[in-house]
Amino acid sequence: MYYRRTLTEAQINQQLLGTVLTTPLWWIVLVSLLGIVVAGAVGAVGWMINQGLGVTGLRQPVFWGFFITNFIFWVGISHAGVMISAILRLSQAEWRRPMVRAAETMTVFALMASLAMPLVHAGRPWRIFYWVFPYDWARGIWPDVRSPLVWDPIAITTYLTSSMLFVYTALIPDLAIIRDRSTGWRRSVYGALSLGWHGNPRQWKIQGFAGILLSALILPVFVSVHSIVSWDFSVSLVPSWHVTIFAPYFVIGAVHSGVSAVVTLMIIMRKLYKLENFIWEEHIDALARLLMVVALAWMFLFWLDLVFALWLREEQEITVWMLRMFEPPWSWLFFLFFMFSFVIPVPLWMFRRVRRSFTWMLWTSLLVNFGMFLERFLIIVPALMRKGPQTFTYATYRPSPVEFTIIFGTIALVCFLLLIFSKFFPLIPLWEEKEGQLLIDHVKVGNVYVPALVKEH
Amino acid sequence: MAHEEHAIPQVPTHQEIASDIMARFQNVNQRYWSWVSLLALLFVGGIVGFVMRLSDGFDDRSNWGYYTATLSFLASTFLAMPIISAGLRLAKANWRRPLTRLTENMAITGVLIWFMLIPALIALPPTEGRLSVWFDFPHWMAFRGGNLMVWGTVVLIGLFLLWLLAVPDLAAVRDHMPASPRGKLARVLSVGWTGNTRQWRVLHSGALLFGAFYLLLYPTLQTLLQADFQAGLLPGMKDAIAPATALINALQGAVGLTLVVMYVMRRFGGYERYFGIDQFWALSKPLLAFSLLWFYFWWGSFITFWYGRQPGESELIRFMVLDSYRYPLMVSFMLNFIGPLVALVWNPVRRSIWGPTIVGAGVLVGALVNHIRWYVAPFSVPDPPAGEAWPHVLPEIPAGQLPGAADALIVVGGIAGAVLLFMLINKIIPVVSMWEVGEGLRLVKVRRFLARYAMVIAKSH
Amino acid sequence: MATQTKPQSATDRSTAFKWSMVIDLDRCTGCEACVVACQSENNVPINEESAFIEGRAFEWIRLERYWEGEWPDIKARFIPVLCQHCENAPCEPVCPVYATYHNNEGLNVQVYNRCVGTRYCGANCPYHARQFNFWEPVWPEDLRHQLNPDVTVRTRGVMEKCSMCIQRIRRATRSKTPSDIPDGAFNPACVQACPTSAMTFGNLNNPESKVSKLQNDERRYHMFEHLGTAPTTLYLKQVDTHGA
Amino acid sequence: MGLTRRQFLKWAGVTGVGAVVFNGCRVPDHEIQVQSPVELPEDLVTGRDNYYATVAQVGSGSEGLLVRVMEGRAKKVEGNPDYPLNTGKHHIRSEAMLQATYHPDRIKSPMVRIAKGGPFRAIGWPDALERLTKILGDADPANVLLATGPVRGKLADVTKLFAKDYGAQALGFDPIDQHVLRTAIKNIYDQDVLPDFDIAHADFIMSFGADFLGTWIDPTHYMRGYGEFRQGEDRAERGHLVHVDSRFSVTAAAADEWKYVNPGTEGLLALSMAHTIVTEKLGDAGAARALTGGADNHLSSFSADKVASQIGMSADAITNLAHKFAGTRGRALAIGGGSAGAHTNGVFNLTAIYALNYLVGSVNVPGGVIFNPAGDQSQITGAPIRDWKAALDAMRSGDIKVLLVRDANVVHGLSKQLKVTEALDKLDTIVSFSSFLDETTARADLILPGHTPFEEWGTDTPDVGPGYRTVAFQQPVINRFRDTMAFGDVLIRTASELGHAMPWESMRDAVRAAARDLHSTNRGSVTQPTFEEFWKRSLERGGWWDQGDTVSGTPTPPVLPRAAVKAQIAGDAKVFPLHLVPFEGHAIGTGQYAHLPWAQAVPDPITTVVWTTWVELNPKTAESLNVKQDDVVTLESATGDFISVPVYVNPATPPDVASVPIGQGHEQFTTYAAGRGSNVLDILAQAEDSDTGSLAWASTRVRLTKTNVRVGLPKLEGIEEPRQLPGEPVIVVFRPGEEDDSHS
Ligand SMILES: Nc1nc2c(c(=O)[nH]1)N[C@H]1C(S)=C(S)[C@@H](COP(=O)(O)OP(=O)(O)OC[C@H]3O[C@@H](n4cnc5c(=O)[nH]c(N)nc54)[C@H](O)[C@@H]3O)O[C@H]1N2
Ligand code: SF4
Ligand code: SF4
Ligand code: SF4
Ligand code: SF4
């Protein structure tokens, strides 16, 4: 139980700064391997820009494919950060402490990966500024604010900026600790970054306030981001996209995949960085409970989506769903999606043994994200394949090796950046851990000690 | 932490609490009876209104719009109340303890609501040729039977929870006032409760299990309500988010109602000790969240329709948003979204008794208006000529419908009836749970924290 | 939403013209003269065999063939499909850069040098009217001599589609008033080529034009009317007197 | 090697990281140019253009064209609205002719081969002409064969005169010739030129095997009529079309009723209908008497009961058709040709079909068959296969030593079975005047490349005229694009070098001479006081025509045969279960347009397949043979020859038919045609129509064997068989008398 592990501040410093102050061999190997994959993907992007989008599997009418899938996938993952940090912070969930930093950082990197996707997806990415910024002052033509594709960059860059602020604000006390433990140029860099932090009460108060304020401000952004992404679809006329439920459905789905990704990340981190003293079964258990609630809500919305999609009995809507659910290979993907992101993990999580097993949780959380990638894919592609009643133009889509390379590249990129990050900053906030140690207590109820939280009265 | 109190906080004992609650429970005064009589009068008025409607028959469905709106308002506020206690219990929120019973007692209104459902179902056209979640289920009774069953199950689970969670307190009533009729009734209802470990275990797991059931079934009820009574009657209404919006609206209404009831109990019942700032403050947060979600869901559906610009969608926007039901929408927009947002973003407002209460009352009015918009509008859409399928586009946009005298009687009477039932049950089962509050006291300890004292509240798992 | 307006004055361009096409499916034989005429007029890239195998063939106007029935009681039905120049065009509001917009003559216009190639418009066009340059379009050097200098040659990464031969409209209407332009004085390439005269083009704001009169034909219909896109292109139903 | 910045970027692009640096972060340099924001399609300012009228001979069709020319380049082909046959419309093939002119693989100058089989070497025109004169001067004219594609107008005169004066034999070549049709028309109507059909004013059309809306004779002209036949503004009622064919062609698709009959029994069906009409006295009594020689039982062997099973139609259906044809629908018209004439009994079939028009009084009247005046008709038509077999024998025996060839691609257009290349190899010299290196030209020793139609002078007297005298003028709309010379001019020059000068100095001169004749009539569409003005005006109009110059009167019909001539189908039905029905490619024809990308890339209307050869099979047949779409199968005929083609499962193909388009299977003929598909002509049994010796190209049976190869058939339609969704039809059909099923 909680009281098993009480660490001194010195122990906390020592164990959490280990990654920053030393460079193990596995880190170098891993970073190099991931770097190669990323370089491969960058090459693929270059090749694609050089040759044209013909190198993808896209074709009329499947104008959107893997890139947009991947875009939504990463935006989804990015929802973990805020879910864990902001919501759990606001609701004062104690168990958030070891995961906030990693989750927020993952959010930032996932957002970067997702932002890259619409860019490489565009026919003329070098004209991105025409898209995001007003580009022709002489004629006064501005981007068309009616287009969700204009809302997207605004929402995502806002989210990215605020997430980075979020990470940075929470990093300051830890930066000061590193500053105090390093010498030479590192000392000056960390010194500059830590903005003269000395941990006096005024600084703590401002830092705490900033955390709460940012949490509250970021929440609407958090909801808006995936809602806007969902409106890319629902404002269209494409059958099965043009549905009102997409915004909450996407957001909750994003939380599902994002929190699962946090689980995966925590378990891997724990193993790689030997963080057994900080990441406990209880944490994973709490995440799994959260996931169960999220997954149930998500399934409710999915069910509503399906029922109301079919109930108008519109030919085209039914055609799309039939393709999605009953025609191979889509039916296979649908089956996998459904099994992986719901049917297998959720019942398993009902068992305390599973929730508290790092192995089980690693695999189930990975399953969820694999399933959620398929979910996005199945939302996009079959709908475009059966977009309208013109059966004459029905077509299919098979992603090309270039697209696969780029998708794997984004996965490698996020891992790569996380590893690099961990080299310079602790993945678990030291001050959060210390604060947690302070606030924890136990109440004796009958014969057992129940962990308790100090109520700020 | 900003608290300036340096004294050691006092934790009351279980005994203190129990006797205080019991005393209030036993006291049935004049004011109580006058309220009950007034409500009974209004309820009878409602029945008169209902009989007036009955005499017009069911051929013209538009007569039944306000009736259905009342029904759905009750189902969406009173029936959603047990969700608050079940949800908070699942989330192990300790501040819930004083207010769970209040919400559970509301489940008694389910009896009235279920009976009210029957005429509303009769007013619905058969499913043939019309959009319906029952699809082509062969028998025309499908959605009627189905609805009665789902609603009935929800009501029964609510009543069961009400009873189950009241058993220890009923036992206390039994032991306290064995001679009175209420005590005798309590004897029957407390089914030999002695408070042994096994009984407690059954009670706890039963509460969790059936609470979870309620949580799962209630959205189904809202889905049916939206599908059968709203979307199914509106040509072109393809709005998957509607049940979720209705659910949010219901939860919002339930929180609003809880706040208002807590306020009334404080003001007129002397329950200040139980319904304190903690409860108001804590409830104002979900209230704000539900208000934001209310707008978010509404907007999600509006923007989709607006962009779709398909004939069916444009006509519906005109009908429900821009034209016929413009004013009801504006009212509920103000009361269910703008008002709560503007008021509750401020911590001082949230951390007050009056703030959340006023917002909660506004939310209740907004929810009523919203339900009128939601259900009166579709009921005023005429059936297509016999034998023809329902169109996918509104053939014409019906005008907004104002309530007649009978409608007004029904709305007021319906609500009065529900409140009446609540007032009556409060005198059978104490409105504050003695055992749950008492249990909470055991989880609290006072500890020195830094330079002060702090309460430490345990969270078991 | 665009609304139909009548010309206020003969010189007011914004209301003088509203171009429309009417296609009589009962005349069309599926010969595809229109298809090649459009390719030639509008510098539509040559569709190599690979373009068809990849499913990326360019046809601003294409002939769709539908089967009805089984042998021997079988019918093949043809429909020329081009941009419908929807008044309520779903392709327009989704474009982030205004590369596709509605002009004041009722046309859905595509500006190639603005397009960044998001393909959103294409995903949202219910008629599959839009074609995307997945590859850089190439013509052998000699064949470039044939290219129409009035029409931009597109580059890789941009969307294109039927422009209603806007270059012809410009040429024919430049510094002219509507009264100077008799009905049928000029036609888009496809209309001009169509051997059966299945296609008619003209100005809807001229009540005397053929297209205006055909708007009331008993065989009139718009493709996918239920979508509410309000196409300007009108079809006349094919007549089936099967076995009569 | 001077790496430009642009190339550098390309290289950077393929080398990974560099790509992002140069192509991603920075913009490729051609993008740096600031594009004028004012350059909206709205504001485009364009240059000056000119339109020149000319004419194109598209197979048997004749299309008056206006070509838009800017800065000396032909930009667009448009129909000439004045020209009586196509009245402003035009065929894909006319349009695609632009690509012939600017074709990258066009022969760019005269070429000579030093040694047989060696490479070509470019030479100048004086040298080339000198070599030609020498070859012809040295040769015995009797050993020279001048082979051309079908030629009309002044060029035909020049060619014929050249051959006559020089003493060589001239032979026209067309893989599918129209001799059977010409003979039938001669037999039944006593006309030397093909008649016109007044489709626009007919009320009921019965067509046998003639894909007149697709590829037969002059589709653009017929489609002009068809549009009016359906929805003409002055029509009381929509016309009704019945099409009898062994393949589901474009015409079959357009027809109200499509009837499949056993291949080769079309004539039998016509006579059976005639029998019903005559015996039931439904038609013109006088015509009936003439056709039967007055004998009541003359046609009795064709009574519906007797022939129904042979035809593959029920007796009721036959009499029903006869009733409709002779019935109350107004003017009825029978048209026959195509596969109906491509049998060993072709002339019998077509004669019988056209005889039907007599019975309903539709001969030389509005809405019926309209005769064309013979007047200016001058043409070299494709010779029957019988003549070509003889010519090949003569090559082999050494009776022909020199072959002059212009657009007569015998290597591709004659079956492999005739061993054409072997015969050509026996020749001393081959001289080609073609503009492209087709298979025959590739075997030439000397090439004097000709102009394309937009670069040369000529006239056209349409094969099927509009019913009155018509002469079209062909003028160069641009200067020659390559170092070529008009075939006619080469002949005129060479003739004078050889010492028998023609009356004209050039083709232009010849055309002017023809114009002078027309001017002197002082009537018709262009009349001018002076010749120069006449010349200018008629060039502007694209020709001259005289609506007053028509053929009048109705000939007396001949007596019909008493007994049927049966079609001989090659191959035992047990071994070769499928009828092979070849058909002309929609745009590439029998292969003469296969080098034009537009013609190749325009989807076949029925199957939407492009760029290749395929075999159409009924879904049931395909299933029974265990083949699917995209499976490659071999088709083998009784001759033992076979081709490999992918399957297109076509729900409209009759179950015992395999139909294959003609036109692909080129080994040469530019990069666009070479190595594509297969040549179905190679497996046709070389049977002939018994009367004319024309190729009976529809009289072969085949068997089909599945191979293990699958290909992606290039086609426009998507991955599913397009059938309309019941709720949301793309094509709404109006069924008079039924409830309106549109959703408006
Ligand atoms: N150094 C220098 N530069 C100058 C000028 C100068 O005086 N000195 N003058 C400037 C001026 S005023 C001008 S107008 C420009 C002219 O500049 P250009 O437009 O380059 O003119 P040219 O080089 O005379 O001809 C262009 C090409 O057109 C080809 N051509 C000839 N006839 C035809 C035809 O019928 N159709 C087509 N499509 N092509 C044809 C010719 O073979 C030649 O290759 O140069 C400008 N640049
Ligand atoms: S047909 Fe398609 S491209 Fe054309 S205006 Fe309509 S939506 Fe846009
Ligand atoms: S592809 Fe071009 S025109 Fe279409 S939405 Fe994107 S930027 Fe606009
Ligand atoms: S109107 Fe012009 S651009 Fe449009 S399909 Fe016809 S020819 Fe092509
Ligand atoms: S040219 Fe005319 S008849 Fe031919 S396919 Fe096009 S629309 Fe139909």
Question: Which domains does chain D carry?
Answer: 5-34 (no CATH), 111-172+379-460+468-546 (3.40.50.740), 179-370 (3.40.228.10), 578-710 (2.40.40.20)
Interface of D with C in 79-98 (CB under 8 A): 79, 86, 88-92, 95-96, 98
Task: Report if residue C134 sits inside a domain.
Answer: yes
- In this prediction, residue D15 carries a pLDDT of 36
Q: How far is A43 from chain D (nearest CA, A)?
A: 3
Among A167-171, B95-99, D14-18, D690-694, the range scoring the smallest mean pLDDT is D14-18
CB D73 near ligand 1, within 6 Å: yes
Query: Average pLDDT for residues D547-553, to the nearest whole number?
Result: 92
The beta-carbon neighbor of B455 closest among A223, A227, A455 is A455
**pLDDT at residue A311 above 90?**
no
For residue C198, the CA-to-ligand 5 centroid distance in Å is 6
Q: What residue's CA is closest to ligand 3, atom 6? A: C118
B310 touches chain C (CB under 8 A): yes
**Yes or no, beta carbons of C127 and A54 under 8 Å apart:** no
**Yes or no, beta carbons of C133 and A387 under 8 Å apart:** no
Task: Report if residue C42 sits inside a domain.
Answer: yes
Query: Average pLDDT for residues A203-231, to the nearest whole number?
Result: 88
Please give the domain boundaries of chain A with CATH numbers for all domains.
9-451 (1.20.1630.10)
Query: Average pLDDT for residues B361-377, to the nearest whole number?
Result: 94
CB D71 near ligand 1, within 6 Å: yes
With contacts defined as CB-CB under 8 Å, which chain D residues touch A141?
A: 37
Q: How confident is residue D42, by pLDDT bands cut at 50, 70 and 90?
A: low
Q: How confident is residue B21, by pLDDT bands cut at 50, 70 and 90?
A: confident
**Yes or no, beta carbons of A125 and D19 under 8 Å apart:** no
Contacts of D437 (CB under 8 A, 6+ apart): D105, D107, D447, D668, D669, D670
More confident: C212 or B232: C212
What are D261-297's pLDDT values in tens digits? 999 999 999 999 999 999 999 989 999 999 998 888 8
What are C196-219's pLDDT values in tens digits? 999 999 999 999 999 999 999 999
Total beta-carbon pairs less than 8 A apart between chain A and chain B: 127
Residue whose CB lies within 8 A of the most ligand 4 atoms, among C162, C169, C201, for a mutation test: C162
Query: Average pLDDT for residues B260-274, to the nearest whole number?
Result: 87
Residue whose CB lies within 8 A of the most ligand 3 atoms, among C115, C133, C154, for a mutation test: C115
With contacts defined as CB-CB under 8 Å, which chain D residues touch A319?
A: 725
Residue whose CB lies within 8 A of the most ligand 4 atoms, among C20, C42, C148, for a mutation test: C42
**Yes or no, beta carbons of A453 and B244 under 8 Å apart:** no
- In this prediction, residue D17 carries a pLDDT of 36
For residue D46, the CA-to-ligand 1 centroid distance in Å is 18
Interface predicted TM-score (ipTM) of this complex, two decimals: 0.87
What are D628-648's pLDDT values in tens digits? 999 999 999 999 999 999 999
Report the domain count for chain C: 1
Give the whole-number percent of chain B exceeding pLDDT 90.
45
Q: How confident is residue A443, by pLDDT bands cut at 50, 70 and 90?
A: low
**Yes or no, beta carbons of C94 and A124 under 8 Å apart:** no
Q: Which residue of A has its CA nearest to C158?
A: A123
The beta-carbon neighbor of D17 closest among A39, A393, A396 is A39
Most C-contacting residue of B305, B309, B318 (CB-CB within 10 A), to test interface: B309
Task: Report if residue C5 sits inside a domain.
Answer: no
Domain containing residue C156: 14-236
For residue D392, the CA-to-ligand 2 centroid distance in Å is 58
CB C95 near ligand 3, within 6 Å: yes
With contacts defined as CB-CB under 8 Å, which chain C residues touch D231?
A: 24, 26-27, 236
Interface of B with A in 69-108 (CB under 8 A): none
Task: Report if residue C163 sits inside a domain.
Answer: yes
Task: Report if residue C242 sits inside a domain.
Answer: no
D724 touches chain C (CB under 8 A): yes
With contacts defined as CB-CB under 8 Å, which chain D residues touch C244?
A: 240, 256
With contacts defined as CB-CB under 8 Å, which chain C residues touch A60?
A: 55-56, 122, 128, 130-132
- In this prediction, residue C158 carries a pLDDT of 94
Q: Which is the closest atom of ligand 3 to the Cα of C94? A: 5
Query: Average pLDDT for residues A146-150, to the nearest whole number?
Result: 89
CA D240 to mean position of chain CA atoms: 25
**pLDDT at residue D38 above 90?**
no
C126 touches chain A (CB under 8 A): yes
D608 touches chain C (CB under 8 A): yes
List residues bridging with B444 in a β-sheet: B457
Q: What residue's CA is closest to ligand 4, atom 6? A: C190
Measure the CA–CA gap between D104 and D670, rounded to whole angstroms: 9
More confident: A282 or A40: A40
CB D50 near ligand 1, within 6 Å: no
- In this prediction, residue A134 carries a pLDDT of 59
**pLDDT at residue D13 above 50?**
no
What are D367-404's pLDDT values in tens digits? 999 999 987 778 999 999 999 999 999 999 999 999 99
- In this prediction, residue B141 carries a pLDDT of 64
**Residues D106/D110/D115/D118 CA torsion (nearest 10 deg):** -20
Q: How far is B324 from chain A (nearest CA, A)?
A: 22
CB C59 near ligand 4, within 6 Å: no
Give the whole-number percent of chain B exceeding pLDDT 70.
92
**Yes or no, beta carbons of B458 and A243 under 8 Å apart:** no
Residue with tokens 């070549």: D173
User: Global pTM?
Assistant: 0.88
Measure the CA–CA gap between A182 and A196, rounded to whole angstroms: 15
B308 touches chain C (CB under 8 A): yes
**pLDDT at residue D43 above 60?**
no
CB C121 near ligand 3, within 6 Å: yes
Task: Report if residue C7 sits inside a domain.
Answer: no
CA B57 to mean position of chain CA atoms: 29
With contacts defined as CB-CB under 8 Å, which chain B residues touch C228?
A: 308-314
**Yes or no, beta carbons of C241 and D256 under 8 Å apart:** yes
Please answer whether residues B441 and B16 qualify as being in contact, where contact means their C-beta atoms are separated by less than 8 angstroms: no
Q: Which is the closest atom of ligand 2 to the Cα of C128? A: 2
CB C118 near ligand 3, within 6 Å: yes
With contacts defined as CB-CB under 8 Å, which chain A residues touch B227?
A: 307, 311
The beta-carbon neighbor of D652 closest among C37, C76, C241 is C76
What are D598-618's pLDDT values in tens digits? 999 999 999 999 999 999 999
**pLDDT at residue B138 above 70?**
no
For residue C26, the CA-to-ligand 4 centroid distance in Å is 20
For residue D66, the CA-to-ligand 5 centroid distance in Å is 19
The one-character DSSP state at D688 is B
Q: Which residue of A has its CA nearest to B95?
A: A455
Q: How confident is residue D743, by pLDDT bands cut at 50, 70 and 90?
A: very low
**pLDDT at residue A456 above 70?**
no
Residue whose CB lies within 8 A of the most ligand 1 atoms, among D50, D71, D455, for a mutation test: D71
Query: Average pLDDT for residues D489-510, to the nearest whole number?
Result: 95
- In this prediction, residue B136 carries a pLDDT of 66
User: Average pLDDT over chain A, rounded to whole?
Assistant: 87
**pLDDT at residue A150 above 50?**
yes
Query: Average pLDDT for residues B118-133, to the nearest whole number?
Result: 82
Task: Report if residue C73 sits inside a domain.
Answer: yes
For residue C94, the CA-to-ligand 2 centroid distance in Å is 12
- In this prediction, residue A453 carries a pLDDT of 61
User: Average pLDDT over chain D, rounded to whole?
Assistant: 90
Mean pLDDT comparison of B309-318, B377-386, D659-668, highest-scoring range: D659-668
- In this prediction, residue A454 carries a pLDDT of 58
Q: What residue's CA is closest to ligand 3, atom 8? A: C95
What are A126-143's pLDDT values in tens digits? 887 777 765 555 555 677
Task: Report if residue C241 sits inside a domain.
Answer: no
Query: Average pLDDT for residues D201-212, to the nearest whole number?
Result: 95
